[in-house]
Chains A and B, each alone.
Chain A
Amino acid sequence: MKILVCISHVPDTTSKINFTDNDTKFDTNGVQFVINPNDEFGLTRAMWFKEKQGASVDVVNVGGPETEPTLRKALAIGADTAIRVNTPATDGFSVAKQLANVVKDGGYDLVIAGRESIDYNGAMVPGMLASMVDANFVTNCINLEIDGTNAKAVREIDGGKETVSTSLPLVIAGQKGLVEESDLRIPNMRGIMMARKKPLKVVEPTDATSETSTASFEKPAPKGDVKLVDADNIDELVNLLHNEAKVI
């Protein structure tokens, strides 16, 4: 089984978010970049398929040279080969188009991506990719088993979960649950040393126009101070929620 794991290069979850150039660009100054958490769960599940079922695991990112340390980290965790499509990620559609090209070229059976990236939160690339390569697609995936070309997946739905049967070729949009937080792997020294020797292929982009573009960013308006209510005066809280906030 050939697996491709899509890796987004995103600001660490604790990052302060600021913008430059008249609020048109994300300010990367002082920001630590990591593997998108949703992708990391998928990568770890892919490692399991590699170790238990003899799958090969490649990782891919669409982005400039600055994303290579993130791809090296994925190699250090255990991926075999990394691919970087050498073009900035501009919108979900164009990224999906680039990935579709990689998937077709590489003949992958299973593509694992994250439910959404924690920077743009579009939650659209995996589905678009599945449509473009005519693969089956399961999103919000919290469990995945593969047996030959058959797959069983569990998807989180509003208020519960759903078990589906499907088959390869398959695109998964994964999240926590695909593996547990405690199963995530921190690269060890041996992994880091080996990652330096593993291939990181840079491929040139295919033609893809963006369908959307962000004109500007803004930050939420600063919040007023919290109104403290005395623990012995809970009537006051009920009153505020009813008459002031009007939410009950």
Chain B
Amino acid sequence: MSVLVYTESEQGKFKKAAFEVVSYAKAVADQMGTSVTAVAVNADNAESLGNYGASKVLSIKNDGLSKFNAKKYAAAIEDAAKNEGAKVVVLSSSANSKYLAPLLAVGLDAGYVSNVVEVPSSTSPFTVKRTAFTNKAFANTEINTDVKIVGISNNSFGLVESDGSASVEDFSPSIPDSGVTVESVDKASDKVAIADAEIVVSGGRGLKGPENWGMVEELAEVLGAATACSKPVSDLGWRPHSEHVGQTGKPVAANLYIAIGISGAIQHLAGINASKVKVVINTDPEAPFFKAADYGIVGDAFEVVPKLTEKLKKFKAQNA
């Protein structure tokens, strides 16, 4: 009756979110007096999950799973959960985990809660805190089924190292056919994805035009950050939809969110509010974003941003 956790990897390498979900699963397992079993698909160094609290890793090596497929992956995790008699399954908030989670929930007859931000406040009834109303509130939600699925919000728990070690076992689940086939993937490999990013640098209409995004990208590069934009910017076609963050765009739960030339409409703030530290740079001291931010600079982005980039470069060089 261990806690099962699905750990994501890309080209064999675990994503940071994988270590975070294992850390979270370990905390839940400690509450329940049990241990953590991780499921890894085509990942190298499966034993490294032991550093974050996994006691056992079910390592799946299967060429049929080389491309993500929600139905097949859900079936593999379902098989592992049943095999282990898991009562709790922990997932991340990545696009892929959120894709497979509802399929897994039906397969396991498990109640599923997404966007969870803390360890359960109680294990009986099993109660978790999750965001609701697009980060304008939290809900304390009970899961009433025998098996429970918890999807945790990125960067909400962090990484917690553990001094245990994990045994690695080969696992060969039965994989069903799927009616969905990936034809092509279009992904910028040199860019940090918003969902994976610890820092996000975001630009708004205050930047006046797409030709001025160079300084946003430079700032992001120094910080190892993802770039994002406000809704008007994506509607105007200055930046791709995939960068639009806010209530109808992507949610952001970064450790640091830097908003440049974004006034801070309520829909934008809702989407980024889960970020821990918010910095705003805007010429208008009355911009609503200043009420939501932790740090602010009233000033012209065209002067402030290049200077900030320079200062950060120096800072990084000194602290490297």
Q: Please report A residues at the B interface, Cβ cutoff 8 Å.
A: 11, 13-14, 17, 19, 26, 37-38, 91-93, 96, 118-128, 130-132, 136-140, 142, 152, 155-167, 175-177, 180-182, 210-220, 223-224, 226-231, 234-235, 237-238, 240-242, 245, 247-248
Contact = CB atoms under 8 A, between A and B. Distances in A.
Contacts of B102: 92, 96, 123-128, 130-131
A119 B242 CA distance: 22
A152 B188 CA distance: 22
A13 B266 contact: yes
B290 A226 contact: yes
B48 interface: no
Contacts of A247: 198-199, 255-256, 276-277
A188 B114 CA distance: 38
A138 B186 contact: no
A59 to B, nearest CB: 19
Given A226-B296, A245-B295, A248-B223, A212 B142 contact: yes
Given A13-B248, A229-B295, 19 more contacts: A119-B133, A119-B134, A121-B131, A122-B115, A123-B114, A124-B112, A157-B96, A159-B195, A161-B242, A162-B182, A162-B185, A162-B186, A219-B138, A229-B296, A231-B304, A237-B311, A241-B279, A245-B276, A245-B294
Contacts of B115: 121-122
**Which secondary structure dominates where chain A touches chain B?**
mixed
Contact of A167 (B107, B145, B179, B312): B179
Contacts of A162: 182, 184-186
B238 to A, nearest CB: 14
Contact of A181 (B192, B235, B277): B235
Contacts of B255: 247
Contacts of A119: 132-134
A215 B142 contact: yes
B43 interface: no
Interface string B103-138: 101110011111100000000000100011111111
Contact of A220 (B70, B247, B249, B273): B273
Contacts of B105: 93, 124, 127-128, 211
A46 to B, nearest CB: 18
Interface residues of B, number: 92
Nearest to B183: A163
B312 A217 contact: no
Contact of B180 (A138, A177, A240): A138
Given A139-B98, A238-B312, A220 B138 contact: yes
Contact of A121 (B114, B293, B295): B114
B230 to A, nearest CB: 13
A164 B182 contact: yes
Given A37-B248, A136-B180, A166-B179, A228 B241 contact: no
A178 to B, nearest CB: 10
Contacts of A11: 133
B157 interface: no
A231 B303 contact: yes
Given A166-B179, A242-B315, A160 B242 contact: yes
Interface of B: 70-71, 94-96, 98-103, 105-107, 110-115, 127, 131-145, 178-188, 191-196, 198-199, 223, 235, 241-242, 244, 247-249, 255-256, 266-267, 270, 273, 276-277, 279-280, 290-300, 303-304, 307-308, 311-312, 315, 319
B144 A213 contact: yes
A241 B179 CA distance: 48
B140 A215 contact: yes
Given A132-B106, A136-B180, A160-B187, A120 B132 contact: yes
A123 B98 contact: yes
A230 B303 CA distance: 12
Nearest to A41: B248
B180 A223 contact: no
B111 A211 contact: yes
A181 B136 CA distance: 24
Contact of B311 (A26, A211, A235): A235
Nearest to A132: B106
Given A139-B98, A157-B95, A159-B191, A227 B296 contact: yes
14 contacts: A131-B103, A136-B179, A139-B98, A156-B95, A161-B185, A162-B186, A211-B112, A211-B144, A226-B290, A227-B294, A227-B295, A237-B311, A245-B276, A248-B223
Contacts of A38: 248
Contact of A160 (B135, B145, B185): B185
B295 to A, nearest CB: 5
Contact of B181 (A165, A211, A216, A220): A165
B311 A234 contact: yes
A196 B178 CA distance: 42
Contacts of A140: 95, 99
Contacts of B127: 215
B299 A217 contact: no
Contact of B188 (A160, A217, A237): A160
A210 B144 contact: yes
B142 A213 contact: yes
